Structure 1
Amino acid sequence: MTTTEETPTTTALAKFVDPLPIPRRLHVDRADPAPRLTFRTVGVQARLHSQLPPTPLWTYDGEFPGPVLDVHRGQRLHVTWENGTTTSYPAVDAFLADAPGNPSLAMNDPGIGLAQPVKGVAALPAWHVTHLHGAVTGGDNDGWMENAVLHGDAQLSEYPNDQPAMTLWYHDHAMNVTRLNVFAGLAGMYLLRDDEEEALRLPGGDREIPLIVCDRNLETDAAGRFTGRLLHKTSGTLPFFGPYTLVNGRIWPALEVAPGWYRFRVLNASNARTYRLHLLDEAGQVLTGTAWLIGTDSGLLGAPLPVPADGLTLAPAERADLLVDFGPFRGQALRLVNSAQAPFRGDPLPAGVRPGDPLPANRLPEPDVMQFRVADLPPTDGFRLPRTLSASYVRLTHDRLPADHMHRMLALAADADGTLGLWELGEVPASEAPTGGVQDGIVQVTDQDGVTTTYRRLARHFDDPLNWRARQDGWEVWKVLNLSGILHPVHIHLTRFQPLAIDGYDTEKFVQAQGGTAPGAPVAHLESLPIDPSLTGWKDVMRVPPGTMVTLAGQFRGASGRYMYHCHILEHEDAGMMRQFAVMPGAVMDLGGMGGMSGM
């Protein structure tokens, strides 16, 4: 048995031959005063492509992805997440050591060698806990990663759903094995509606379609034939990237559409891959003016935004609410493709390369995502794109925040051994600033005003003591400085936020091997960068590119307890790039001597 996609295969999968599956939708009855649902994890076998043998999976209620929950604002929902899984971990988890020039994810490169199965994974127990990503709910209902349950036990969760309309999703969040459990199939979508959204009369019914996108790899046997099993193969310090794109659990599917408007709820459910999505016509040209962004992770925008010619970027766990008009394309077959030239960045393509072209050296051997086949019929819908979406939407600025908001400083950095961490930083008084050479955990930063501040690392790994406590319903500004050299999508539980600023920084003076900067050699501000309009909506995941500082503002409203924030590259999260914080009533914090927070 081989466990690497570099081995030549005698089997190739045809594209666009399977219809797009539409996940089963569960509408929560608005007349039910106390709705309750039960979901049960179970191991199944399902075909991810008609030319593949059945693939073992872990699923919610036997479905991959899980059923779509459809809930209205204010419906307090109780969900029982039962662990009914009796099968062993269904995929092959394998590791390929780094080698000079190793692209690690090319589909056919026999010179690299074979990946070795990771010891112990096949015997792991099915240990699950479900997190409703983006939910405002108490800490004991949030899916704390160490509160996972074994077979026969259940997790009980209460979701108040006291939030604006948005696209949420649920997925496994078990400590140390999130990457494996989600990869095995434990993910699904959750749609939250409100009166403001329903008044827009957006396309619905069979014209509102979830698109849950993820990448996977497939195991082959010694003869190069697909076994049907998924292959979670990583390489060196790189997380998982696969050559096969699935939409709603099917590889390279096709969807028959009418020549009219559709609403697509798009979720990047990949472990690590960032997508830059384009819609192409039959000649391979990028279509513009037909797709509009109307909502981001955590709600509707104020007005529709056209999807730009250079594509719509989605990092892991990001969502996009899209309207697409197929009316001008009667009788045509359109392709949705990914052009992200490197999964850790999602940068625009280099000159001379078109969307839809493969880039195997940049871990994009197959750019195709899916196909839309537009029926050759007269348009039948009368929908018109609204000029205004959410009248309650507000674009945040620092001046709009209450005076008592709290500031935090966070660095994304690697230790000397390459272990990634979330460095919570505290300001060091100038009189106490260290002198001499580089000291571990001491970082100097010069901001856009030329002011240099010295910071001391207070915590970096999950098991470090709790360091940050937020006041319930309080506003906070987090500055997130990426010193690591790769993009990280940062997810903060409980809150939704907006970026206030994105700035470029010279991070060359940060000495990873020594864990800091030398006095007088700070990480220095280079330039203020434009904020992509698609990032100006409400978010719960923020892409932080290397060499940038992203300033976020959000409110920790509606609940209290202990929560997590982490990189949503799941291999990074499991490797320790996750931290905890607590949200408490302000009066309780003050009584316990935890107050003293002030705006800056």
Structure 2
Amino acid sequence: MTTTNTTTTSTASTSTAGTSAAPTAGALTKFADPLPIPPRLRPDPGDPLPHLTIRTEAAEIQLHSELPPTPLWTYQGCFPGPVFDVRRDQRIRVTWSNHTTTPYPALVAHLADAPGNPSLAMNDPGIGAATPVPGTDAIPAWFVTHLHGAVTGGGNDGWTENALLYGDAQLSEYPNRQPAMTLWYHDHAMDITRLNVYSGLVGMYLLRDEEEDRLHLPHGDREIPLIICDRNLATDAEGRPTGQLLHKTTGTLPFVGPYTLVNGRIWPHLEVRPGWYRFRLLNASNSRSYRLHLLDAAGDRVSGAAWQIGTDSGLLGAPIPLAAEGLVLAPAERADLLVDFGAFPGTELRLVNSAQAPFRGDPLPPGVRPGDPLPAARLPEPDVMLFRVAAEPADDGFRLPAVLSPGFTRLTHEALPPDHEHRMLALAADPDGTLGLWELAEVPPAQGPTAPGQVLDGIVQVRAADGTVTTYQRLARHFDDTLNWRARMDGWEQWRILNLSGILHPIHIHLIRFQLLGIDGYATGSFDPAHGGTATGAPVGYLGALPIDATQQGWKDVVRVPPGAMVSIAGRFGGAAGRYMYHCHILEHEDAGMMRPFSVMPGPVLALDPGMGGGGMGMG
């Protein structure tokens, strides 16, 4: 194994505007610190089965040069952890070894719902009117690592309840029989994923192949991971940040924080040369979505300089220019970007976020420009980072290729094998306000409501585009309900996901990559969450097809499901078997119950399963 470390994150950075005095709340100097570059782990290409050991351990790291060190739980003492750099078909073994002995490092607090919308105070630095959550300081270092996007056996995937305490280790094997793509790894422990990830347990994993090699993309110091997340900090009696992480939420909203970090540093800067760079972007936030823009010194959008070449799970067929509306990334989504700084020698460009929080990547309201604060929408600070372009000639010889992946094709339902399986899923609120994943099965209309105004718990009727009404019965909604969905290994499936909850959810399916076939709008106001269904004669109704953004037309493992919409996705459950999970990647939602298991089994075995077909809706 070769380890390359350009700039570690376990030591304080050099500041261009640092001060020895602790700042007042919200007064950290922007763009004071250079962007840290996580160390690289490159398995030895001559080793037939490299074996790497990654330790989880406590560390104290400065998130900004004007802050005291912040206690964290980390991989290898770094936040974020080291970047794996692996070739396609290079099978590796990783021992995730728990060496963490310190108490949970973040302060966990709750801001109760009350008149006056206290949820806006979620973005305020410091605990404010929030109350520490009893018992969270006793959370043990209980970890299990999931390689997000990996095609690997169920025993290697990081099953949520198989977390380990200090002194134990998780052995996982990753075949890497996948195209070039940006994956990432993070903790996935049952009930506390939001807290373990928040404490620092995230890292990037890059896969490369010959198709990518042929493009001669920017590499070396011109290929840079950008791992973006938000955090909050506790404050002392004078309102100065202490450096301790603060996970402050309300009774109804997941975490969003006032400080934006890139590679573990708050509002950093990066010195670049004129010419092309490749940025591997990851939204590692618990719940915040981003809508990213490049702005010049005058605050105007930069056009023609940034191009997206890949999505979560691989290269696109052709580059996509960064739209004026910006690049949207929900939690866990990735984007592979090329940026040409050649036209900007001696200038500075800002990367800013305009997404209203939480859960949303909506375009800005009229009259608001990217870079403007939106405190009422929980976006008090739009800045993400700064690029400082050197004043020197620009010609690195790279030219943007017209074709990226010659074999890339858009999936359609008609092109799927005739024996593909159909699944129906609803995202819905339960009467107590908790959110669930409702696995649905089609049933005869006679099982639906018949009396005037009647609502039957777990019965949802949907009117399609052609006017036909289908009755569905809920089979499961929470993690511990019966396992219903058994996929045939190497079989194709189409999942339709109907959002009845009124909140955007990014849904991640383990093991597979998929494509978005379509998005349709639905009138969902007839769904009655208090009674768990739709009333007689009031089905959820089709409104019309919605456009699919170009950045969502590649291979994905996270799909954004807007409220009042049904998305259709298709993918192949190939390459491995075992028990896996799918879930909302708003981590507070995942921990609160928006996660369900599924299993993948070889076809001949599945044919002998007495429960075969449970939850499916047939082939074709």
State the TM-score bracket (shorter-chain normalisation). Answer: over 0.9
Change (3 A) 1:365 1:107: farther
Answering whether residue 242 of structure 2 is matched by residue 234 of structure 1, we say no
Write out per-residue CA displacement over residues 183-207 of structure 1, whole angstroms, 9 at most, x where no aligned residue: 0000000000011111111000000
Secondary structure at the residue paired with 1:588? helix
Q: Distance in 1 between matches of 2:339 and 2:400?
A: 10
SS in structure 2 opposite 1:453?
Answer: strand
Contact 1:218 1:230 in 2 (8 A): yes
Q: Within the alignment, does 1:409 sit opposite 2:424 as a pair? A: yes
Provide the residue aligned with 2:275 in structure 1. 260
1:296 corresponds to which of 285, 306, 311: 311
Cα contact 2:506–2:586 (8 A) shared by 1: yes
Q: Secondary structure at the match of 1:66?
A: coil
CA contact (8 A) 1:269 1:316 kept: yes
Matched, 1:372 2:387: yes
Number of the residue aligned with 1:5: none
Counterpart CA distance in 2 for 1:251 and 1:412 is 34
Distance 1:111 1:41 in 2: 27
Change (3 A) 1:85 1:113: closer
What residue is the counterpart of 2:203 in the other structure?
Answer: 188
Residue 432, structure 1, aligned to residue 447, structure 2: yes
Secondary structure, counterpart of 2:119 in structure 1: coil
Q: Rate the CA distance shift 1:238–1:379 in 2: closer, same or farther, 3 A.
A: same
Structure 1 residue 109: Cα displacement: 7.0
1:446 and 1:452 in contact (8 A); partners too: yes
**Does the 8 Å CA contact 2:122/2:249 hold for their aligned counterparts?**
no
Tell me the secondary structure at the aligned position of residue 277 of structure 1. Answer: strand
Number of the residue aligned with 2:8: none
Percent of counterpart pairs with the same letter?
A: 73
2:17 aligns with: none
Secondary structure of residue in 2 paired with 1:399: helix
Output aligned runs, 1:17-36, within 5 Å: 17-36=32-51
1:573 aligns with 2:593: no
**How far 1:434 sits from its partner (Å)?**
3.4
2:11 maps to none
Matches of 1:108 and 1:203, distance apart in 2: 37
Q: Deviations over 1:330-387 (max 9, x none)?
A: 1110000000023211100010000000000000000000000000100140000000
Distance 1:109 1:30 in 2: 48
Question: Partner residue of 2:18?
Answer: none
Residue 463 of structure 2: which of 446, 452, 462 is its match?
446
Aligned partners of 1:177, 1:86: CA distance in 2, in Å?
17
Instruction: Tell me the matched-pair count.
Output: 593
Q: Which residue of 1 aligns with 2:619?
A: 599
Q: Which SS does the other structure have where 2:104 is aligned?
A: coil
Match for residue 105 of structure 2 among 83, 90, 105: 90
The Cα offsets for residues 110-142 of structure 1, whole Å up to 9 and x where unpaired, read as: 999511111111011100000000000000000
Identify which range, 358-367 or 94-103, moves more after superposition. Answer: 94-103
Structure-1 separation of matches of 2:219 and 2:125:
48
For structure 1, list consecutive stretches of 5 or more residues without a partner in the other structure: 1-7
**Superposition deviation, residue 226 in structure 1:** 1.1
CA 1:251–1:429: 2 relative to 1, 3 Å = same
CA-based RMSD of the aligned residues comes to 1.5
The answer to whether structure 1 residue 215 and structure 2 residue 235 are counterparts is no
5+ residue gaps, structure 2, are 1-22
Q: CA separation in 1, counterparts of 2:570 and 2:140?
A: 39
522, 540, 563: which one aligns with 1:505: 522
Residue type at the aligned position of 2:53: T
Residue identity matched to 1:171: H
Tell me whether 1:243 sits opposite 2:261 in the alignment. Answer: no
Q: Name the SS for the 1:322 alignment partner.
A: strand
Distance apart, 1:409 and its partner CA: 0.4
What's the CA shift for 1:268?
A: 0.1
Equivalent position amino acid for 1:216 in 2:
R
Of residues 180-189 and 11-20 in structure 1, the stretch that sits farther from structure 2 once superposed is 11-20
User: Where in structure 1 do 4 or more consecutive aligned residues deviate above 2 Å?
Assistant: 8-11, 103-113, 430-434, 592-598
8 A contact 1:11–1:224 mirrored in 2: no
C-alpha distance in structure 1 between counterparts of 2:350 and 2:92, whole Å:
38
Q: In the alignment, does 2:492 pair up with 1:475? A: yes
SS at match of 2:41: strand
* CA distance, structure 2, for counterparts of residue 53 and residue 298 of structure 1: 38
The corresponding residue for 1:287 is 302
Is contact 1:505-1:548 (8 Å) kept?
A: yes
The aligned residue for residue 75 of structure 2 is: 60
Q: CA deviation at 1:433?
A: 3.1
Q: In 1, Cα distance between the equivalents of 2:555 and 2:245?
A: 34
Tell me how far apart the structure 1 counterparts of residues 121 and 193 of structure 2 sit (CA, whole Å): 25
> Residue in 2 aligned with 1:116?
131
> What code does the residue aligned with 1:441 have?
G
Q: Which moved more, 1:270-279 or 1:590-599?
A: 590-599
Letter in 1 for 2:303: T
Distance 1:573 1:341 in 2: 21
- How far does residue 391 in structure 1 lie from its aligned partner after superposition? 1.4
- The residue identity in structure 2 corresponding to 1:365 is P
In the aligned structure 2, how far is the partner of 1:103 from the partner of 1:366?
Answer: 18
